Amino acid sequence: MKVAIVGAGQLGRMLALAGYPLGIESRFYDRSADTPGGQVAPIVTGEFDDLTRLRSLARGADVVTFDWENVPVESLAAMRAFAPVYPQPRVLGVAQDRLLEKTLFRDLGIATPLFAPVDLRSDLDAAIGRIGLPGILKTRRFGYDGKGQARIRRRADVDAAWQALGGEPLIYEGFVDFTRELSLLAVRSTKGETAFYPLTENVHEHGILASSRAPCRARALQKSAERQVGAILGRYGYVGVLAVEFFVARGRLIANEMAPRVHNSGHWTIEGAETSQFENHLRAILGLPLGSTRARGHAAMVNFVGRLPAPRRALAVNGLHLHDYGKREARPGRKLGHATVVEASAAARDRALGRLLRLR
């Protein structure tokens, strides 16, 4: 079985590594061969709109997938003439546009922050008048890890926010006074088999995921999240792993965004679940039976952003599993690796998480 992966970052790298024990061969496509994925599997280089090279990659594959949310939808659609592409490009198109994404949530009855499209300064003034302050002005496209956003706390912030982001399609969202952030990973196969991982509790710093803990024992929230994410899967006949991030406000889930791919908040599943999100994504897109999503214990994951700890220091932590993404250049805001621990109890997990956080 051969899988073509468009994008060769750390997510693609972990997909390829998950496939090898199952006899699944991966081949990457990216602008440069000097990538995390390119270190573990063959890679074809080119621009993401080079349809000739992309079609050639698809011809030799049983299925095409992607590890990056900004791959042009048109490029993936062109590859479908030669191999199935999962998750479906049209779902990626929705996830790439915050307005379409929020509209999908609303149409499916999924609670989401109040929002309004903003193209002109007058639109922003009208949105603030209708939704109120505080709020967040965001680019509709190409924003992730906190990029393309401006917080508007008071009227005096409006001019600066508009100067920073105005001139491209935007969305204004009402601020959610949340108590915690959760994510749910779901997986659905080409055969329609569906499974959900336990809810994960996440902490972000400067818009980037800093740490995760799972499972989050909240039965009512788990059932609510599964119902809401299941509605998205059903709308599209979705195939692959889908992650949806939620705020919890007044005990209720508020959907923030979705990612139609394997997700940073699911890294704990490599050691902490019976079947990792990466293996289950491959099983799903190839039509293989899904593996169990049951947690093996209580897991914690910490991202190493901008700096990796010395291996000797990190590996001295009992039970730590270190994942170095092989990125040659360290710089602020860049995800260089992560570490996980799995413990028998939540209390032991939380103590271990403290040790992981000190490694950063």
pLDDT digits (tens, 9 = 90+) for 190-224: 999 999 999 999 999 988 999 999 999 899 999 99
The per-residue pLDDT for 147 is: 76
The per-residue pLDDT for 142 is: 81
pLDDT digits (tens, 9 = 90+) for 128-139: 999 999 999 999
Q: What is the DSSP letter of 85?
A: B
The per-residue pLDDT for 123 is: 97
In terms of Cβ atoms closer than 10 Å to its own Cβ (0-12, 13-18, 19+), residue 237 is exposed
> How far is residue 116's CA from residue 172's CA, in Å, rounded to a whole number?
5
The per-residue pLDDT for 146 is: 65
CA distances in angstroms from 7 to 4, 32, 90, 336, listed in the order given: 9, 10, 18, 16
Task: Name the fold adopted by 114-174.
Answer: Dna Ligase; domain 1 (3.30.1490)
Q: What are phi and psi of 21, to 5 degrees?
A: -60, -20
CA distances in angstroms from 357 to 94, 208, 212, 294, 301, listed in the order given: 35, 15, 11, 25, 9
> How far is residue 151's CA from residue 131's CA, in Å, rounded to a whole number?
14
Name the residue ranges covered by the structural domains of the chain. 2-85, 114-174, 180-357
Domain 180-357 sits in CATH 3.40.50.720:
no
pLDDT digits (tens, 9 = 90+) for 260-284: 999 999 999 999 999 999 999 999 9
Positions of the chain with pLDDT under 70: 144-146
The per-residue pLDDT for 167 is: 86
In terms of Cβ atoms closer than 10 Å to its own Cβ (0-12, 13-18, 19+), residue 329 is exposed
Task: Name the fold adopted by 2-85.
Answer: Rossmann fold (3.40.50)
Q: What is the DSSP letter of 285?
A: H
